Amino acid sequence: MAQKTRITFDDCCNELLGRGATGGLQALDRWSCNPRLREVVPFVKGFAHEYLFTLGPDTVRDVISRSTHALGNVESTEQLPVIENFTAPFALQHLFHWYVEEKQSLPTWRDFRNWMVLGPAEPLWLGVLKAYLGKPRDIEEARQWSRATRWRLGKFYLSAMREVDLLLRLRHAGIPVRYHLLGDVLLRTDLWINSLIVCLYFPNSAYRDGKDEGRKPPAEKFFAGANPPFEIIHFPVERQGFGRVWLAKDESVEELAQLIQTHL
């Protein structure tokens, strides 16, 4: 029987920050002391990923087959900067993976939406967003905010499912990549294994197309000076075509698996 994988906050700190990377240690200290994150910090410190690593390589496809489309009939032109740029103390990644471990299940879009809109995650994200936006001026503005929120949340869900699918397919291919919320949200580390840090991005001219570093600080900022050093790779993952937009192409997964193998 295969040994279970369980990755805790301490595991993540030891493996990513145990080499004395000054930027990462300073970021962790600022994060730990940030009064805005007084509820987030104990949540992340107590969080372990375990059920995630029990999922098989076809799990995401199975969930997709039972799910309605996360974006519905909302179009990209309906997104609003005030909602796209909004951040709550709890990141969407926190709330998504809380669902996975709490429910011991990978959510369909309806399950995730209910968790975020009607369930225990509501006051941690939607409630904060509503307080930030204030009262809409009229019915039309309320409708616009609702649809823009659907776009933001649905787009995140699709991205999260793609990333989980990629993680599971790599592990199924025999590459035991590791993941923790602390590494993802704070240290911009999508996956890691031994001395290799993998940063993924889906090419998007609005955010990152391979020509710039996008809106988020790169992982290099956090791991410079680590001893022994990490090797950091930034890998563009191509989506599958129209109608199959949720998953990375098989070719991208195979290429990334081969690239990781050459660095181990």
Q: How far apart are CA 67 and CA 59, in angstroms?
A: 12
Res 112: pLDDT:
98
Report, in this order, helix, strand and coil percent for the chain, each rounded to 5. 50, 10, 40
Res 73: pLDDT:
94
Residues facing residue 248 across a β-bridge: 239
Res 214: pLDDT:
45
In degrees, rounded to 5, the angle at the alpha carbon of residue 225 between the alpha carbons of residues 223 and 227 is 100
Res 26: pLDDT:
97
> Over its length of 264 residues, how does the chain's per-residue pLDDT go in tens digits?
346 899 999 999 999 999 999 999 999 999 999 999 999 999 999 999 999 999 999 999 999 889 998 999 999 999 999 999 999 999 999 999 999 999 999 999 999 999 999 999 999 999 999 999 999 999 999 999 999 999 999 999 999 999 999 999 999 999 999 999 999 999 999 999 999 999 998 776 554 444 444 445 689 999 999 999 999 999 987 766 544 557 888 888 999 999 999 988
**Cis peptide before 57, with omega less than 30 degrees from 0?**
no
Distinct helix (H) and strand (E) counts, the chain: 12, 5
Burial 208-219 (b: 16+ CB within 10 A, else e): beeeeeeeeeeb
Res 210: pLDDT:
45
Pair type for strands 231-236 and 196-201: parallel
Contact 24, 222 (CB under 8 A): yes
Res 207: pLDDT:
47
Question: DSSP readout, 87-151?
Answer: --SS-HHHHHHHHHHHHTSPPPHHHHHHHHHTSTTGGGTHHHHHHHH-S-SSHHHHHHHHHHHHH
Query: Residue 87: CA atoms inside 13 Å, Cβ hemisphere, count?
Result: 6
| Tokens (6 digits) for 71 | 């974006």
Res 248: pLDDT:
84
Res 240: pLDDT:
61
Identity (one letter) of the amino acid at 112?
A: F
Res 239: pLDDT:
66
